[in-house]
Amino acid sequence: MSGNSHPDQHPADAAGIAAAAAVLRRGGLVAVPTETVYGLAARADSVAAVAAIYRAKGRPDFNPLIVHVPDVAAAARLARFDARALRLAQAFWPGPLTMVLPRRADAPLAAAVTAGLPTVAIRCPAHPAMRALLAEAGLPLAAPSANCSGGVSPTCAAHVAASLGANVDLILDGGACAAGIESTIVALREGGGWQVLRPGPITAADIAAILGEAEGAAVADGAIEAPGQLASHYAPGKPVRLNAIAAEADEFHIGFGAVAGDCSLSAGADMAEAAARLYAALHDAAAAAQPRIAVAPIPDEGIGAAINDRLRRAAA
Ligand code: AMP
Ligand code: MG
């Protein structure tokens, strides 16, 4: 806990949503479950509210935020939404896909949301609590993950309270997140190409099935366009060793499939289950007695690419 007082915590029912929307309208911060991880939401049109997100997380100001909207019409008020964006929205929204698109000059967004970039990252989430909050607040909501910058992302309300404490005004508790890993970020280039800036639940192959193959690399390598794709991120505060079939005596071992470990991402080697459990396992490993963490090999197929992306950053 970082503050003297505790944030209000409400179940994500109608009364909780109404209280949270009131907090948002007056410029406060609300932690809210999404299908990926818990988000730290603020109204995206308010300079002060957006500044409060960066302050609460200790987030560097060059790392722009994702704006959450209820539908395509709301997205088209913020960005130039072309035919490709529409096809992706029809296929994957509401859901865990964020699109980086040219920002409209008249978009009602605080400048800090996009960290000065000419583009804006937009997502239409599927989780009923986040959808109800967007509807009730009637505003686009900027929402990064609800954790201190650089730390392990939260997949339940207790993770949020432990990481942000009194830096958040209200926490909506909607249980554990289903996908458990952050949204896929795809940049649609003005020339017609596209590129995955952050792997996630929707794979590059899923996107290629809608848009056709990307010209050049479908998945960006390095931090050219997504300033937030820092090499070190999701850090549990201890050394992390990857591809470990067996653990040393001083390691907490996160298993997968045939590698049992101290806890397992998925004993049955189910990739979706492994993604959903990843951050809870890293939180448990961070809290364990062992001073180091070892992680079993995870296949790089499907959402495994996103799991390995997060693990490499946790280990960096
Ligand atoms: P988080 O909110 O913690 O899930 O992180 C949001 C991610 O979206 C970060 O990696 C940002 O760098 C990325 N992002 C947000 N806006 C843009 C943008 N306009 N262009 C590229 N990446 C972006
Ligand atoms: Mg984050």
| Tens-binned pLDDT, residue by residue, of the chain (316 aa) | 334 367 889 999 999 999 999 999 999 999 999 999 999 999 999 999 999 999 999 998 889 999 999 999 999 999 999 999 999 999 999 999 999 999 999 999 999 999 989 999 999 999 999 999 999 999 999 999 999 998 999 999 999 999 998 899 999 999 999 999 999 999 998 888 999 999 999 999 999 999 998 887 788 765 445 555 666 778 899 999 999 999 999 999 999 999 999 999 999 999 999 999 999 999 999 999 999 999 999 999 999 999 999 999 999 8
**Ligand 1 atom nearest to 185, measured from its CA:** 8
253: Cβ contacts below 8 Å, ≥ 6 apart: 244, 246, 247, 259, 261, 262, 293, 294, 295, 296
CA of 15 to the centre of ligand 1 (A): 31
Are 174 and 184 in contact by the 8 Å Cβ rule? The answer is: no
* Ligand 1 atom with the shortest distance to the CA of 65: 15
Claim: this prediction has a pTM higher than 0.85: yes
* Cβ atoms of residues 33 and 129 within 8 Å: yes
pLDDT value, residue 3? 41
Task: State both tokens at 161.
Answer: 């309270």
CA distance 34 to 41: 11
Q: Which ligand is nearest to the CA of 40?
A: 1
> What is the number of residues in the chain?
316
Distance 65 CA to ligand 1 centre (A): 5
Residues 6+ apart with CB under 8 A from 66: 98, 121, 122, 123, 142, 143, 144, 183, 185
Nearest Cα residue to atom 4 of ligand 1: 144
The reported pLDDT for the residue numbered 2 is 38
Which of 181, 185, 188 has the most ligand 1 atoms within 8 A of CB, as the residue to mutate?
185
Name residue 97's beta-bridge partners.
Answer: 184
User: Cα(20) to centroid of ligand 1, in Å?
Assistant: 24
Taking the CA of residue 198 as reference, the ligand 1 atom at the shortest distance is: 10
In this prediction, residue 225 carries a pLDDT of 59
Domains and CATH numbers, the chain: 8-211 (3.90.870.10), 240-315 (no CATH)
Q: Which amino acid residue places its CA nearest to atom 22 of ligand 1?
A: 226
Residue 68 CB-half CA count within 13 A: 32
Question: How far, in Å, is the centroid of ligand 2 from the Cα of 167?
Answer: 16
Q: Among 157, 161, 170, 167, which residue's Cα sits nearest to residue 3?
A: 167
> 147 near 56, Cβ under 8 Å?
no
**What six digits make up the tokens of 11?**
């179940």
Write out residues with Cβ below 6 Å of ligand 1.
63-66, 100, 114, 117, 119-121, 144-145, 182, 185, 197-198, 225-229
Q: Which atom of ligand 1 is nearest to the CA of 121?
A: 16
Give the atom of ligand 1 at the shortest distance from the alpha carbon of 117: 19
Residue whose pair of structure tokens reads 């959903």 in the numeric block: 276
